[in-house]
């Protein structure tokens, strides 16, 4: 810890110990005691979580979700369909489509010509898992991850679909996955937020699908459970820095006054909220040093930086975000979610998909390696994936060199790794057209149930009554964790 | 004692019993208070109203079923005999297969709860209808003997309950606290020091009431009340989904403000919003009010299926109506019968039928005014006036034509020639309906401007393009036409290449100057080099003959792109020199007819009839045709009349242009309008739009009183039904929300849910009396707010002891005054007010005060018109009340979201109140709060007297803090001196903080003190 900060905290504690007689509660004092970053021995039931959680011993204490917003083309990355080469420019058979609904972007097309992936696949890992040439680094770690090829959803457009997978409902208003974790499990580090979101840059077409604060919002849960956004430029956390002209010592002096006067308010009025406010101001002050420390990549070795690739030190890149994510989980931030945009390849797969995969491939691999080397992969869950899949048939012009793909909710591929997940397996299967699932379907709510399971939560039991319903992340239908991929 | 009081005293005993029967007698188990919510929460899921999920043939929401034999042959409840009741046996069984609730339901009953069941059955297992579904009836209030608590009926109820609970109320809050509290409650603002002083000086018995009356008459009352309603009505300034473009609805917001200020009765308020458009001769205001049903989030996402989007739009209206007016959770019945309340899926779609017949499409077109909408009143008046003038002018043209005595001089006199005319397409703004892309960066003088007010200045590295497409006034291309545009190249930073590009359906028309670096197009096919770059440092007109870029006659140009490679370029006026539509002049009608029959393109395009006549051989034209040709000829062609006619046409054009610009530039607001023919509604199986089931008609939920004959089967009838005295919910739900505003928590805590899963009222009879009296008062909202804040309960001190904090942490019993953190809007408004910055203006378009960079861009769709946040400039905009801050629903301003303001994506009738470190950081460091502190400090320097202590007293008064708090006074003083010595040692920091070099250390030190004050618990708390 920064010695100056340590000094200030010592003073603060002393200051308050002296004033303790005035009525500063034990709880406030406890939260004012600095929480060392190495306090890894903390139980995973955190500060401010529900007393009944975790429901069972969790495999993962924390999680990182690499969200590929826009929906990656599963058949160009993971879902290898060599048979399609013979189907080039032939129409998708009705027997495959089965009259299922399409988006209105292609429902008017006269034909649904099949676009085989133009990318080469080669076998990797112990089981010879086929991976696209676009993911050379991911290919190296197939033995560390579980690939699920049979995710499916009902939504066919981005806004409802991404809202659905992130909050369990297609309509706005529900708590997000991370806010459920914050609400249920609480915090493991009093000096940092529990749930952090990053929205890095991307390299594909810049006209990209939007994100929405609701994807990491708290819905009807108290807003303190929503994510704190770690920003690419300016203050890493909104309003973290003191205004120009106010330095740390002056701010400390101010906060001493705030605390002292608020103590007097508490003495006179007796509202426990006042005490809570005192400790929130002290935590804010601690964050002013813990957050800059967190984002200071100067502490990383060159070897680590090299592993994440040349973008690792460029603020706002996916590589930098992955590295920051590791630094956060290292400090026991409960949940980190990185939303990488630009995966909506309606056209120009040839140019944009390689640009997108180049952004994410090496950093995602590096993240897994980094966690592994630090012995953290065992209790950190990592998830990679988008909101739905894409069609085997081409949207717009089709050539051997280039094509586009429309939204496809009926199957898509994600991978999971780390805490609680069986490494080196492939789960689920789709038909030759990567259109329908033929084996082991996994609904997006099953996936969310799996994530909760890894973190020690029975998804059926984590609910909050709202508008007459016991609302759960996994909705009202019967869902369950994917046992086959769990350790 | 007056006779009235006598009567009150006599009736006390009776009333108390009634009250106790409902809620207060602890020894008697009350079904509604003690049992229903347990049954609902633990049992209804399998033994409730939902037929599809009913187990064992038992339902506990109906006595008939619970007291009868179940499928198993056992009787769940035998009144008076708990030991014979299977329910009890099941609750206490140790056999996992038998025990209820089943272990996998995650529901449990505690020993105390099981004991309650036992007692209730012992006492007769009396079922009651759910309290909120019974029409409220007034009862006499109990008596109370706490001093000062005998004046209002509300205090009677609250006091009697306190007495029963063995609690003592607090004494009245001191006057300073009281005026601060009530000013915040009624206007959302702190009182000014003068207002505080006047109140302190006023010793009259009704001093407080005078303050209340003054506040209720303040226009800020309406603003503050509107803010709560707008949460519920889900008002926002963007669509909320996908692109999340700008949506214009602020006139609806202003209607709500005015409605509160005018004290519109709640029944009218409700009716106009639900059905303003259906009222006879609906006024403009009533139409605007109907926008309530247009506030739902909408989308235009590519690929969306309109029927699905429509279903979501309608669902939202049903759910919002259910929540806001009835406290019913309609959402649950979208897919199946309600599990807890007697609501059927059919009820949902019967309600749906009221809201699915809108005269407009489902997709919003990413447009700010997706129909139906209305223009502002001013625009409507202006357009009507212009329409009158236009009609007059058209008449004048007609009469002028009729007066011309024309004689054809014979065909020999004419030798026609067509002269090209310059048509300016782009000047200071883009052509009509163009959708732009990229940042044009319009600048004015002293930057170079060729003509008009502005030019588009772009400084770029590498290839950069701005463009627009889709203008509804395209340029028509004629043979030999020349396109033109003006450019000014910066001599200090010239570009390497510039390019024009036109869209006539595709973008394959390009002309460029300079090097060939811009990567678009193929030379000599879809791009053409016209020469070297023009001279720098001066305006140059670039001309491109249409043939050069292979634009054919008849092509319609709807878009233009401006591309440059490197450098700084100013782009200005652009258009075409064209012969299209130019009228040749003739003296002879015959000669012209012959000529123009061969050149039909010369006929003004709008004049299709004339073009048609000319297609006929001359001898096939009838008299009417001849007359029309003659009129056209005289109006547009005849040499001798052109001077007069041109002037008349110019007059007419300036009027139609004016009308067009009024139409284009005037604000609009979305309204509801019923489609000519009602759309049928069906039950949607599992809530899926593509699974329609049984057709349903417009009906209200069957468990509530039916609509009567007088009520039309439309939204108007629905409003009448809601406001009928027989409706058990409407008044209760409304009253409860107002209570929540004043006291922080509603009598029913779950103000959004009055059903079986909602919380039960703390004071049921009080709620009922208030509901009935509210209706009987003519739904008088101001009178109700006044009743609430006049109570002793509201006026008592909000201090509390540790015992009370533990006993009643949420202050439901009101043994102390209300105390809770101020809402987001109140916090910011307070800072601006005490800083002397707040702009005192009501209504108008939403404003964008500064916020940190990049918040919209981080999430926004790149093509959205709200992806770039550009703060407004100037005090008049950035210091307005927070109510007017632009609400981008997918990225709410942090000043709002950090303090629990909802994103307005869906109906919210109750906000959470959290207490977080991010709030501390915001209040400490947000530049707007710092600005407010600096501004406060300046006031202290100017108005606060000579010595530091008097300045502290001044600031204490400004923030309405207790001047006698010596700890505070001393602490602020020592903070001032410490800060002063800091800034004396670091004078540059003083400059940085205040934003001005050479800032006196004193001012900076006071800014620190003010920043501190704005962060004090007593300042951020309503207390």
- Per residue in A386-406, pLDDT tens? 999 999 999 888 999 999 999
Residue of A nearest to B931 (CA): A243
Q: How far apart are CA B878 and CA B855, in angstroms?
A: 18
More confident residue, A252 or B615: A252
Asked if the structure places residue A308 within a domain, the reply is: no
Which ipTM score applies to this complex?
A: 0.81
- Prediction pTM value: 0.81
Closest CA to B726 of B133, B127, B265: B133
**B463 lies in the same domain as B559:** yes
Alpha-carbon gap: B299 to the closest alpha carbon of chain A (Å) = 9
Which of B305, B972, B1017 is closest, CB to CB, to A277?
Answer: B1017
Domain boundary among B640, B665, B690: B665
B758 touches chain A (CB under 8 A): yes
Partners of A62 in beta bridges: A380
Q: How many structural domains compose chain A? A: 2
Q: Identify whether the C-beta of residue B440 lies closer than 8 Å to the C-beta of residue B560.
A: no
Mutate to test the interface with A, among B802, B859, B966 (most CBs of A within 10 A): B859
Please list the alpha-helical segments (H only) found in A122-243. Answer: 136-140, 158-167, 177-185
**A358 lies in the same domain as A448:** yes
Asked if the structure places residue A41 within a domain, the reply is: no
Alpha-carbon gap: B280 to the closest alpha carbon of chain A (Å) = 36
Q: How far apart are CA B362 and CA B298, in angstroms?
A: 8
Instruction: Please report how the helices B219-232 and B207-217 are oriented relative to each other, as an axis angle in degrees rounded to 10.
Output: 70
Could you tell me the maximum CA-CA distance found in chain A, to the nearest angstrom?
82
B130 phi and psi, to 5 degrees?
-55, 130
**A189 lies in the same domain as A266:** no
Least confident of A173-177, A253-257, B49-53, B496-500: B49-53
Residues in chain B closer than 8 A to A262 (CB atoms): 1016-1017
Domain boundary among B514, B538, B570: B570
Q: Identify whether the C-beta of residue A428 lies closer than 8 Å to the C-beta of residue A441.
A: yes
**Pair of tokens at residue A8:** 């200030």
**B293 lies in the same domain as B234:** yes
Closest CA to A222 of B840, B912, B971: B912
**A256 lies in the same domain as A363:** no
- Contact assignment for A287 to B809 by CB distance below 8 Å: no
**B169 lies in the same domain as B38:** no
Q: Identify whether the C-beta of residue B569 lies closer than 8 Å to the C-beta of residue B488.
A: yes
| Angle (CA) B884 B885 B886, round 5° | 110
Asked if the structure places residue B820 within a domain, the reply is: no
B539-545 vs B482-489, strand pairing mode: antiparallel
Asked if the structure places residue B160 within a domain, the reply is: yes
Q: How far apart are CA A454 and CA A458, in angstroms?
A: 9
Total CB pairs under 8 A between chain A and B: 274
Asked if the structure places residue A394 within a domain, the reply is: yes
B278: containing domain:
225-374+674-730
pLDDT band, very low/low/confident/very high, at A207 (cuts 50, 70, 90): confident
Asked if the structure places residue A42 within a domain, the reply is: no
Partners of A429 in beta bridges: A439
Please compute the mean of the pLDDT values over residues A238-248 and round it to a whole number: 94
Asked if the structure places residue B7 within a domain, the reply is: yes
B272 touches chain A (CB under 8 A): no
What pLDDT does B776 receive? 97
**A87 lies in the same domain as A200:** yes
Asked if the structure places residue B187 within a domain, the reply is: yes
**A327 lies in the same domain as A402:** yes
pLDDT band, very low/low/confident/very high, at A330 (cuts 50, 70, 90): very high
A404: containing domain:
47-233+315-485
Contacts of residues A79-86 at CB distance under 8 Å and 24 or more positions apart, as own/partner, are A79/A149, A79/A411, A79/A413, A79/A430, A79/A434, A80/A121, A80/A130, A80/A132, A81/A116, A81/A117, A81/A392, A81/A432, A81/A433, A81/A434, A82/A121, A83/A432, A84/A114, A84/A116, A84/A117, A84/A392, A84/A432, A84/A433, A85/A116
Which residues lie below 8 Å from residue B590, measured CB to CB, with a gap of 6+? B408, B410, B411
Q: How far apart are CA A398 and CA A346, in angstroms?
A: 12
Q: How far apart are CA B60 and CA B64, in angstroms?
A: 9
Partners of B483 in beta bridges: B544, B576
Asked if the structure places residue B999 within a domain, the reply is: yes
Q: How far apart are CA A175 and CA A224, in angstroms?
A: 11
**B205 lies in the same domain as B106:** no
**A225 lies in the same domain as A249:** no
**B369 lies in the same domain as B400:** no
Question: For A243, which DSSP code?
Answer: P
Asked if the structure places residue B838 within a domain, the reply is: no
- Contact assignment for A206 to B862 by CB distance below 8 Å: yes
B981 touches chain A (CB under 8 A): no
**B489 lies in the same domain as B440:** yes
**B702 lies in the same domain as B784:** no
Residues in chain A closer than 8 A to B320 (CB atoms): none
Asked if the structure places residue B856 within a domain, the reply is: no
**B450 lies in the same domain as B517:** yes
Which of B106, B757, B1015 is closest, CB to CB, to A258?
Answer: B1015
**B204 lies in the same domain as B286:** no
Q: How many structural domains compose chain B? A: 6
A101 touches chain B (CB under 8 A): yes
**B76 lies in the same domain as B109:** yes
Mutate to test the interface with A, among B733, B911, B921, B992 (most CBs of A within 10 A): B921
Asked if the structure places residue A39 within a domain, the reply is: no
Which of B303, B860, B1020 is closest, CB to CB, to A407?
Answer: B303
Residues in chain A closer than 8 A to B309 (CB atoms): none
Asked if the structure places residue B576 within a domain, the reply is: no
- Contact assignment for B917 to A283 by CB distance below 8 Å: yes
Q: How far apart are CA B314 and CA B328, in angstroms?
A: 16
Please compute the mean of the pLDDT values over residues A330-334 and round it to a whole number: 95
Closest CA to A117 of A73, A76, A74, A72: A76
Residues 325-344 of chain B whose Cβ lies under 8 A from any Cβ of chain A: 329, 331-332, 335, 338-341
- Contact assignment for A270 to B801 by CB distance below 8 Å: yes
Q: How far apart are CA B266 and CA B275, in angstroms?
A: 14
**B232 lies in the same domain as B211:** no
Q: How far apart are CA B859 and CA B869, in angstroms?
A: 12
**A176 lies in the same domain as A30:** no
**B532 lies in the same domain as B443:** yes
- Contact assignment for A270 to B799 by CB distance below 8 Å: yes
- Per residue in A292-302, pLDDT tens? 999 999 999 99
B810 touches chain A (CB under 8 A): no
**A132 lies in the same domain as A258:** no
- Per residue in B830-852, pLDDT tens? 999 999 999 999 999 999 999 99
A417 phi and psi, to 5 degrees?
-155, 160
Q: Identify whether the C-beta of residue B421 lies closer than 8 Å to the C-beta of residue B577.
A: yes
What pLDDT does B25 receive? 52
Asked if the structure places residue A309 within a domain, the reply is: no
Q: Identify whether the C-beta of residue B659 lies closer than 8 Å to the C-beta of residue B394.
A: no
What pLDDT does B463 receive? 85
Q: Identify whether the C-beta of residue B719 lies closer than 8 Å to the C-beta of residue B274.
A: yes
- Contact assignment for B912 to A233 by CB distance below 8 Å: no
CATH of the domain at A401: 3.40.720
Q: Identify whether the C-beta of residue B289 lies closer than 8 Å to the C-beta of residue B255.
A: yes
Positions of chain B with pLDDT under 50: 1-24
Per-position b or e across A284-305, b if 16+ CB within 10 A of its CB: bbbbbbbbebbbebeebeeebb
Q: How far apart are CA A323 and CA A325, in angstroms?
A: 5
**A204 lies in the same domain as A98:** yes
Q: Identify whether the C-beta of residue B511 lies closer than 8 Å to the C-beta of residue B563.
A: no
| Angle (CA) B204 B209 B211, round 5° | 95
Which residues lie below 8 Å from residue B340, measured CB to CB, with a gap of 6+? A468, B40, B41, B44, B48, B49, B61, B332, B755, B756, B757
């Amino acid at each position: 810890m920064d010695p100056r900060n340590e000094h200030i905290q010592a003073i603060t504690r002393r200051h308050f110990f002296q004033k303790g007689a005035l009525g500063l509660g034990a709880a406030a004092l406890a939260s004012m005691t600095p929480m060392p970053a190495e306090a890894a021995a903390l139980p995973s039931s955190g500060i401010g979580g529900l007393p009944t959680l975790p429901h069972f011993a969790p495999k993962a204490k924390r999680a990182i979700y690499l969200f590929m917003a826009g929906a990656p083309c599963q058949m160009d990355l993971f879902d290898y369909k060599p048979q399609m080469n013979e189907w080039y420019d032939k129409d998708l058979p009705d027997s495959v489509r089965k009259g299922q609904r399409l988006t209105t972007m292609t429902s008017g097309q006269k034909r649904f010509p099949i676009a085989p992936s133009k990318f080469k696949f080669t076998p990797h890992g112990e089981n010879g898992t086929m991976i696209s040439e676009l993911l050379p680094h991911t290919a190296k770690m197939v033995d560390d991850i579980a690939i699920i090829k049979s995710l499916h959803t009902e939504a066919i457009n981005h806004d409802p679909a991404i809202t659905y997978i992130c909050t369990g409902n297609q309509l706005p208003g529900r708590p997000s996955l991370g806010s459920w974790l914050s609400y249920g499990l609480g915090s493991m580090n009093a000096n940092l937020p529990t749930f952090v979101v990053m929205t890095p840059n991307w390299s594909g077409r810049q006209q990209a699908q939007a994100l929405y604060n609701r994807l990491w919002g708290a819905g009807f849960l108290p807003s303190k459970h929503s994510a704190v956004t770690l920003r690419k430029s300016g203050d890493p956390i909104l309003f973290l820095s003191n205004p120009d002209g106010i330095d740390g010592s002056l701010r400390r002096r101010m906060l001493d006054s705030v605390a002292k006067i608020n103590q007097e308010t508490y003495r006179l009025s007796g509202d426990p909220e006042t005490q809570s406010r005192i400790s929130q101001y002290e935590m804010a002050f601690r964050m002013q040093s813990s957050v800059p420390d967190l984002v200071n990549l100067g502490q990383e070795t060159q070897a680590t930086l090299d592993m994440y690739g040349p973008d690792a030190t460029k603020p706002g890149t996916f590589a930098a975000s992955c590295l920051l994510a590791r630094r956060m989980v290292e400090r026991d931030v409960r949940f980190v979610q990185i939303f990488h945009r630009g995966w909506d390849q309606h056209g120009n797969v040839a140019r944009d998909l390689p640009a997108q995969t180049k952004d994410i491939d090496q950093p995602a691999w590096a993240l897994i390696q980094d966690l592994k080397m630090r012995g953290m992969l065992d209790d950190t869950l990592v998830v990679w994936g988008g909101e739905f899949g894409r069609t085997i048939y081409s949207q717009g012009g089709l050539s051997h060199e280039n094509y586009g793909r429309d939204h496809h909710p009926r199957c898509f591929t994600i991978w999971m790794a780390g805490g609680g997940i069986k490494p080196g397996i492939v789960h689920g299967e789709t038909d030759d057209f990567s259109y329908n699932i033929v084996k082991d379907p996994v609904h997006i709510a099953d996936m969310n149930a799996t994530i909760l399971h890894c973190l020690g939560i029975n998804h059926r039991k984590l609910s909050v009554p709202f508008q007459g319903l016991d609302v759960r992340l996994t909705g009202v239908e019967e869902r369950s964790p994917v046992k086959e991929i769990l350790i | 004692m007056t006779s009235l009081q006598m009567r009150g005293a006599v009736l006390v005993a009776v009333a108390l019993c009634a009250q106790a029967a409902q809620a207060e007698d602890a020894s008697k188990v009350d079904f509604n208070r003690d049992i229903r919510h347990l049954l609902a929460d633990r049992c209804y899921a399998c033994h409730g109203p939902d037929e599809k999920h009913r187990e064992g043939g038992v339902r506990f929401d109906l006595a008939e079923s619970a007291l009868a034999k179940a499928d198993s042959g056992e009787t769940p409840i035998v009144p008076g005999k708990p030991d014979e009741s299977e329910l009890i046996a099941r609750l206490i069984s140790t056999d996992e297969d038998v025990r209820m609730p089943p272990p996998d339901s995650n529901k449990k009953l505690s020993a105390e709860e099981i004991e309650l069941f036992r007692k209730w059955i012992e006492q007769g297992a009396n079922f009651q209808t759910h309290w909120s579904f019974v029409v409220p009836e007034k009862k006499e209030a109990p008596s109370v003997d706490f001093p000062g608590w005998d004046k209002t009926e509300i205090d009677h109820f609250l006091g009697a309950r306190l007495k029963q609970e063995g609690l003592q109320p607090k004494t009245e809050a001191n006057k300073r606290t009281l005026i601060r509290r009530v000013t915040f409650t009624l206007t959302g603002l702190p009182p000014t020091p003068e207002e505080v002083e006047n109140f302190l000086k006023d010793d009259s018995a009704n001093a407080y009431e005078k303050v209340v009356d003054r506040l209720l008459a303040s226009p800020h009352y309406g603003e503050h009340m509107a803010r709560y309603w707008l949460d519920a009505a889900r008002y926002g300034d963007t669509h909320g989904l996908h692109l999340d473009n700008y949506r214009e609805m602020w006139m609806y917001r202003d209607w709500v403000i005015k409605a509160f200020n005018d004290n519109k009765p709640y029944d009218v308020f409700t009716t106009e919003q639900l059905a303003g458009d259906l009222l006879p001769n609906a006024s403009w205001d009533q139409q605007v009010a109907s926008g309530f049903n247009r506030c739902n989030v909408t989308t235009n996402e590519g690929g969306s299926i309109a029927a699905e989007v429509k279903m979501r739009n309608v669902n939202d209206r049903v759910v919002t109506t259910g929540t806001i007016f009835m406290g019913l959770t309609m959402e649950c019945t979208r897919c199946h019968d309600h599990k807890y309340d007697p609501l059927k899926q059919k009820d949902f779609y019967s309600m749906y039928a009221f809201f699915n017949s809108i005269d407009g499409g489902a997709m919003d077109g990413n447009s700010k005014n997706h129909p139906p909408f209305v223009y502002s009143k001013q625009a409507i008046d202006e357009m009507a006036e212009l329409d009158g003038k236009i009609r007059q002018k058209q008449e004048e043209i007609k009469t002028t034509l009729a007066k011309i005595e024309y004689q054809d001089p014979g065909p020999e006199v004419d030798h026609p020639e067509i002269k090209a005319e310059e048509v300016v397409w782009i000047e200071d703004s883009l052509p009509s309906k163009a959708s732009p892309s990229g940042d044009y960066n319009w600048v004015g003088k002293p930057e170079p401007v060729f003509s008009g007010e502005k030019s588009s200045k772009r400084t770029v590295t590498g290839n950069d393009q701005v463009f627009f497409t889709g203008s509804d006034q395209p340029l028509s291309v004629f043979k030999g036409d020349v396109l033109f545009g003006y450019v000014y190249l910066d001599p200090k930073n010239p570009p390497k290449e510039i390019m024009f590009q036109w869209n006539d359906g595709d973008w394959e028309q390009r002309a460029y100057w300079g090097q060939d670096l811009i990567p678009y197009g193929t030379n000599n096919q879809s791009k053409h080099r016209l020469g070297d770059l023009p001279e720098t440092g001066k305006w140059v007109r670039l001309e491109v003959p249409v043939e050069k870029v292979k634009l054919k006659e008849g092509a319609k140009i709807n878009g233009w792109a401006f591309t440059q490679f490197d450098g700084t370029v100013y782009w200005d006026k652009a258009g075409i020199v064209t012969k299209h539509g130019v009228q040749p002049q003739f003296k002879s009608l015959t000669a012209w007819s012959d000529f123009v029959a061969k050149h039909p393109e010369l006929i003004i395009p709008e004049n299709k009839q004339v073009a048609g006549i000319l297609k006929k051989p001359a001898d096939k034209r009838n008299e009417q045709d001849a007359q029309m040709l003659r009129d056209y000829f005289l109006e547009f062609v005849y040499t001798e009349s052109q001077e007069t006619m041109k002037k008349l046409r110019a007059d007419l054009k300036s009027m139609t242009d004016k009308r067009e610009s009024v139409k284009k530039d005037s604000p609009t607001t979305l309204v509801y309008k019923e489609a000519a023919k009602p759309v049928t509604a069906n039950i949607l199986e599992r809530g899926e739009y593509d699974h329609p089931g049984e057709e349903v008609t417009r009906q209200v939920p069957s468990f509530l009183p039916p609509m009567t004959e007088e009520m039309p089967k439309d939204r108007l009838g629905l409003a009448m039904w809601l406001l009928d005295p027989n409706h058990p919910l409407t008044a209760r739900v409304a009253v409860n929300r107002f209570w929540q505003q004043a006291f922080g928590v509603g009598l029913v805590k779950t103000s959004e849910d009055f059903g079986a899963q909602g919380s039960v009222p703390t004071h049921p009879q009080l709620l009922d009396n208030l509901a009935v009296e509210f209706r009987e008062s003519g739904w008088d909202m101001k009178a109700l707010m006044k009743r609430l804040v006049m109570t002793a309960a509201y006026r008592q001190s909000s201090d509390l002891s540790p015992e009370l904090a533990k006993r009643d942490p949420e202050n439901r019993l009101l043994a102390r005054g209300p105390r809770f953190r101020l809402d987001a809007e109140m916090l910011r408004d307070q800072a601006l007010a005490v800083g002397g910055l707040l702009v005192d203006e009501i209504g108008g378009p939403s404003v964008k005060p500064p916020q940190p960079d990049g918040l919209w861009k981080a999430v926004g769709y790149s093509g959205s018109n709200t992806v770039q946040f550009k703060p407004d400039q100037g005090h008049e905009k950035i210091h307005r009340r927070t109510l007017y801050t632009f609400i981008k629903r997918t990225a709410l301003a942090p000043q709002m979201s950090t303090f629990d303001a909802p994103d307005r994506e869906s109906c919210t009738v109750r906000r959470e109140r959290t207490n977080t470190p991010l709030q501390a950081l915001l209040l400490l460091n947000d530049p707007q709060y710092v600005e407010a502190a600096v501004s406060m400090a300046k006031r202290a320097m100017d108005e606060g007297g000579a010595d530091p202590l008097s300045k502290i007293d001044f600031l204490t008064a400004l923030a309405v803090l207790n001047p006698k708090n010596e700890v505070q006074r001393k602490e602020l003083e020592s903070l001032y001196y410490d800060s002063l010595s800091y800034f004396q040692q670091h004078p540059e920091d003083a400059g940085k903080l205040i934003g001005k070099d050479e800032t006196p250390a004193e001012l900076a030190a006071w800014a620190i003190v003010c920043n501190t004050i704005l962060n004090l618990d007593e300042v951020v708390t309503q207390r």
